[in-house]
Structure formats: C-alpha cells, structure tokens
A and B are shown apart, each in its own frame.
Chain A
Amino acid sequence: MSTNHGRPAAYYRTLTRNLVLFVVVVSLVPLMFSGAVILYEFDRAYQSKVEQHLEVLLNKHRRTIDAFLTDRLADIRVLARSYPVEMLKDPAFLRAKLSLLREEYGGVFVDLGLVNPEGRQVVYAGPFHLTGADYAQAQWFKQAKAGEHFISNVFAGLRGSPHFIVAAKKRLMGRDWLVKATIDFEAFNALVEKLVIGETGFAFILDREGSFQTKPRQEVALASGAWRELLRRPLDGGKVTIIQRTGSRDREMIYAAAPLKNGSWIICAQQERADAFSLLFSAQRMAVTIFVLGGIVVILVSLLLARRLVNRIAEADSQKEAMNEKMIEAGRLASIGELAAGIAHEINNPVAIMVEEAGWIEDLMSEEGPLSEETLSEIQRAVQQIQEQGSRCKQITYKLLSFARKTDPTVKEVSLNSLVEEVISLVGQKSRYAGVRIETELGPGLPRVAASPSELQQVLLNLVNNAVDAIDSEGGVVSVRSNPDNGWVRLTVSDTGIGIAPANLARIFDPFYTTKPVGQGTGLGLSICYGIINKLGGEIKVTSAKGKGSTFVVLLPAISQSEAAPETTDPAARS
C-alpha cells in the first residue's frame, strides 16, 4: 500500500541534501573566491606598504645620521680652517671652543685636541688627561693622515670607553696638523636608538667589518642566518635592501639594510613580521572568522529552508496523491452514472417479466372451478420464469456492485483478460441497444500485470464505454484485443465510430475536455485513464480517422515469469 502512495523517504532525503549542497555551494563559493582575491590583494598591498614604510624610515634616519656626522665634521673643519695653529695651540682657546660646542650641541662633543704631525697630542681640552698622548701608532691617525678629514669607527681607544673621532687637517709649513674631536657614543647611539619600528623593530649601525657602531636593543646574531645573507649582498647605490626570513626562535622576521657614511657603515633594522603585519593578520583573522561564521549561518539556514521546502513538497505530493485518488473515484462514479441508463433498463426488463408472470398466475387462479392439470403446469412454468428473472436481476446488481465499490489502489497481479471480460459483460446491454457488436480477441497465456484491479477495470470501462459511445445509431463494431508484446502487455480497443477530429486529438487526455453534450460526459474519463496508466509505468496512445473510428492502445509492463513477489514490480516503487 505504502509503495503506491507518494514517494519513498529516500527521495526526499536526496532532495534535501541536493538543495542544501546547492545553496551552500552557490553562496559560499563566490564568497570564498572574492574573500581570497581581496585577501591576496590586501596582502600584496600591505606587504609593499610595510616595505615602503621601512624604506622611508631607514632613509630618513640614514640622512639624519649622515647629516649629523657631516655637521660634526664641518664644525671641526670650520674650527681648523678659521684659526691659525698658534691660536689652536692655546689650551685656553681650545677649552673656550669646546665649551662653545658643548653649549651648542649638548654633550655631543666630549673633547677637542690638536695633534702634531708626529702624532702627539700637543693640546687637549676635555675631561681626560690626554695632553701629550701619542697617537702615532693608532689606526685612526694613520687613516686620518691619508685624507683631508676623517670620521673614525667606534673604538675604545686610550680612555677605554666607546667613542669615535672626527678629525680635520690643518696645514702649516708643509706639515699636517690634525684638529680632532671626540664624539660621545651615547649621544650618537641615541640617534639610532630613537628609531623604533612598531613593537619589536629596532635599528643599529655596523661598519663594513661587521662590528657594531651603535648598541642594538636586542642581541643580534650577525654571523648566521638572514643577517649573514643580507650583509654579503652589495649594499650600494644608497638603496634599502629588504628580505624576509625565519629568524631565531622560529619567528618570521623582516630584515633591512642600507649603506651609510659613503658606504663605510651600514644601517640595519629588523622587525618581527607578526608585528609589522599585525594589522594585516588581524584583518585576515577577522575575514576568516566572518567567513566561518557566515558559512555556518548559511549552512544552518539552508538546512532549515531545505527541510521546510521539502516538507512542503512532500505535503503537496501527498495532497496531489489524495486529489488523484479522489478524481479517479469521481471519474468512476461518473462512469457508473453513464452506465446507469442501460443498467436501469436491464433491471427493469426482468422486473417487468416477473410482474407479468405474477399477473398471469393471478389470472389463472381467478378462473372458476378446480385448477386443471394444464393450468397447474402453466403456473409451474410461470414460477420458474419468475425465479429465472430474479436470478438475472441478482446478477446485474452484483455486477454493478462489484464496480461501484470503493477504489482500492492496492497493486496485485492482475489478469487483464478476465478484467476485459468483466467489463464487457457490464457494457453488454448498453452496446446491444446501441447496435454495437463487441468483438474480443484475447491472447491466450497473456502475462499478468501489476496493477490495482479496480483502477485497471476503470481504464477498460472508460475505453470500451467511449468506443461504444463513438458509434452512431447505424451501429458498428468495437473490438478489444490483447496480446503480449516483448515484456509488455498490449491492449487495443478500436471502434468503427465517428472518429476524433485531428484538432481534438491532442486534447483528449486533458481533464474536463469532452465533446459529449453537457450532462453526458464529465471529460474526466480519458484523463483518469492516462493518469492510471502512467502511474503503472505504462503508455496509452490513440490513433483516429474522422468518420472511420479510433484505436486506443494501452501498453502495460508485464510481470516476467521469473519475478516472484509483486512488490518488486511495483512501478511506483521504481520511480
């Protein structure tokens, strides 16, 4: 029973799943795509922004530091060029100049000194007692003597604390004197230490040999990894070189380096990537969060909607099923109504005979005198006739009842031929009065079909009824044939009636379409046939020629002999 009503639960499950998949794919794929594109572009833009920022920052500081060094050198050069050696030899003058410089530049200048061509510091102004110190063997002295002016690397020197020297030459009688100033390391260091990039970024300065010119904020491993790689590169042309590598403790780092002081120093900066890209990473995290949350919402909503939709569809399906059953029932009653005229007459005839026989007996009994032998046998015959006509009535009512009982859609194995015979006996009287001869040619050994007997009976009744109705008062022949056809059972109902106009042929299976006069046809018969045959997995076709008659062919799937249970051949279960 259940296999015949509605679709199996699996069908609705598949429908729900497909709907959910469809909605999820359609809504999430573009979202994912656009998200990925936006993230990628944002990543690239941010990357270049971070690098640019670093470059600008480094360049700015490079210029500042270069300017600082140049300015300090210029101070000393002015000092050297403005005054003759005699004046510079005066310690009081030098002290006055030092205090002037210290006033002007804070604690940048530590001391001033005049070094004679032999490398002895003849005059000294400053906090240390370095008058007479001998620099002849000092590295800076040798280098300074080579050029016009000189800025040394940072070194500890005689005083034992880091500093560097700015020196300018003073020519006197063909011999080079040096005016030298010491620059406080701390003051210089502050310049670079001010350069803080984000939370973790910092800068420092190296010379070409890789010794620190400023104090890095954190320990920096120059000998290995990214710094080694970066410092090996030719850092020329004043450009900032940036690389990104995995640094110590597996942190993603950004390293940048640029030449300074005409290439003899290098300004370096490093920053954790997570810090530099913190905004990008938080944007990415937010995007991923939004995507995941959105995805969950989309999936939930699509699940909910699909469930609801599928429930509605299931409801509509079962309603449609119920409607179909009601329509078949209505069509059945309409067919019975059409038959009613013929059947009423069919019952009326035996009733009239019985009434006449009863009257005849009454006539005979009212004769005067004792009943003769002849009269008695006449009464006998009349009574027998009444019994005969009574059983004829019974047969008619049984036939009608068998058809008028409620439609039972249960699918069984049905013998088409016996159904045909049943229906023809029902239509027999009607056709006899219409002058229609019904010929049957039922194929012997016809395979059974899986169908509801009452539904199939109705199909046959509708077809045969229509065939009889199609024949006009001059009479004609309706022939019903059945034969097996390669796994199918073929039933042909043809008539020699008025035929169907080609214009109407396309519409004859439409519900409520009828060419019969109002009140005589519901227009449901053939549409119900069509519905029933379709449900059984069969086919119904019609050919007709106006004035020559019509032929309806019904094909139903046969139950093959090997198939045992009728359930497996239920066409509804297959669909």
Chain B
Amino acid sequence: MIQINPSVLLVDDEVPFVETMAKRLAKRELTVDTAFSGKEALAKLDSGGPSRTDVVILDVKMPGMDGLETLAAIKGAHPNVEVIMLTGHATVESAIEGMKGGAYDYLMKPCEMDLLMAKVGEAVAKKRAHEAKILDARVRMHALRRET
C-alpha cells in the first residue's frame, strides 16, 4: 500500500485563522482543505468522498450549524473520518460532549502546533488501521466465498 500524505479538512468561521493554520499544516506535509462553516465542511466531505479526507479539525463554536451538530452530521455520513475538536475555554464541556459523540480528541485554542500534529498523526494512524482491518475482512470474505 502506498503511503500518501494525510489529508486534513480545517473548519472554522474565523477566516484569517483558517488561512494561516492551513499554510502551517501544508508546510508540515499535510494535504489541507478548508471550510468556513459546518455546512461547507459537509459539502466538501460529500463531494470529495470519505477516501480523500482523513481528519477534520473542527471548531466547536460557530454561527449557524455549530461544531456539535456538524460532528453528528459528519459521523452520520462518514463514520470513518476522524474529528479533532478545537475549543475555547468556555466550551470545554461541549468538546467533551463531542468526544462522547465520536470525536477522536479535543484541543484548546490556541493550540501548540506540535501537539496538533501529534494528534493528527494518531488520528490518521487510527483511521488507517481501521481501514486496513476493513480491507482484511473483505479479503477474508472473498477468500471464504472462493473456497465455497
């Protein structure tokens, strides 16, 4: 299997934040896509398919569709995509709620880039491992069919 760069979707309503963060992540050899609202993020995931995006970095507090709603929608439509929540101090509780709803982890904003990269790495590894298991299972299923 060819090891390709992990693909990240960055979702936040603060445009300057998203843009700079995207540049920094790209510099660390991640494939970065951006979205400025929950709806836009979902649209990008739907159009690109689950294979393209590994991890969504999602701000909890956004106008309109907020982080938790977006998380639920992502997990519903693309269960394999891992989500890391970004949160301000006042919304730690909703980040915890998010983890109960299937987020991989959360980070406090502003966050250490190294920490973020580590979390992204872990999340990608988890996703890849999970996908590998699914692949294995498929292979075993085909083999079983062939035997019968």
Contact = CB atoms under 8 A, between A and B. Distances in A.
Interface of A: 340-341, 344-345, 348-349, 351-357, 359-360, 363, 382, 385, 389, 432-433, 435, 475
B89 A344 contact: yes
A359 B25 CA distance: 11
B104 to A, nearest CB: 20
B63 A356 contact: no
B56 to A, nearest CB: 18
Contact of A345 (B24, B64, B88): B88
A340 B89 CA distance: 11
B21 interface: yes
A348 B20 contact: no
A435 to B, nearest CB: 6
Interface of B: 14, 16-17, 20-21, 23-24, 27, 61-64, 66, 88-91, 109-111, 113
A389 B91 CA distance: 21
Contact of B110 (A355, A363, A475): A355
Contacts of B20: 353, 356-357, 359-360, 382, 385
A267 B13 CA distance: 130
Contacts of B61: 345, 433
Contacts of A389: 16
A349 B14 CA distance: 7
A433 B14 contact: no
B63 A349 contact: no
Nearest to A364: B27
A355 B86 CA distance: 14
A355 B24 CA distance: 12
A478 to B, nearest CB: 15
A352 B17 contact: yes
B109 A352 contact: yes
Given A345-B61, A353-B20, A360-B23, 9 more contacts: A344-B89, A345-B91, A349-B88, A352-B14, A352-B17, A352-B110, A353-B16, A356-B17, A360-B20
A392 to B, nearest CB: 10
Given A348-B109, A433-B63, A356 B88 contact: no
B110 A356 contact: yes
Given A353-B14, A353-B16, A356-B21, A341 B110 contact: no
B24 A360 contact: yes
Contacts of B17: 349, 352-353, 356
Contacts of A340: 90
A545 to B, nearest CB: 26
A341 B99 CA distance: 21
Contact of B24 (A344, A363, A385, A435): A363
Contacts of B63: 432-433, 435
Contact of A359 (B66, B89, B113): B113
A518 to B, nearest CB: 16
Contacts of B24: 356, 359-360, 363
B27 A345 contact: no
A348 B89 contact: yes
A389 B16 CA distance: 10
A351 B17 CA distance: 10
Contacts of A435: 63-64
A341 B24 CA distance: 29
- Nearest 8 pairs between A and B by C-beta? A355-B110, A352-B110, A348-B88, A356-B20, A341-B90, A352-B109, A345-B88, A353-B17
A454 B56 CA distance: 45
A251 B64 CA distance: 110
B16 A385 contact: yes
B88 A344 contact: yes
A433 B20 CA distance: 23
- Centre residue among A356, A382, A389 by max chain B CB count within 10 A: A356
Contacts of B66: 433
A349 B17 CA distance: 8
A346 B137 CA distance: 48
- Centre residue among B17, B61, B64 by max chain A CB count within 10 A: B17
Contacts of A353: 14, 16-17, 20
A353 B16 CA distance: 7
13 contacts: A340-B90, A344-B89, A344-B90, A345-B61, A348-B88, A348-B110, A349-B88, A351-B110, A353-B14, A357-B16, A385-B16, A433-B61, A435-B63
B14 A363 contact: no
Contact of B90 (A345, A351, A356, A475): A345
Contacts of A352: 14, 17, 109-111
Nearest to B69: A473
Nearest to B89: A344
A344 B14 CA distance: 15
B111 to A, nearest CB: 8
- Centre residue among A352, A357, A363, A475 by max chain B CB count within 10 A: A352
A169 to B, nearest CB: 145
A12 B16 CA distance: 64
Contacts of B14: 349, 352-353
B27 A363 contact: yes
A357 B15 CA distance: 13
Contacts of A382: 20
Contacts of B23: 360, 363
Contacts of B110: 348, 351-352, 354-356
Contacts of B62: 433
A349 B111 CA distance: 12
Contacts of A354: 110
- Centre residue among B63, B66, B111 by max chain A CB count within 10 A: B63
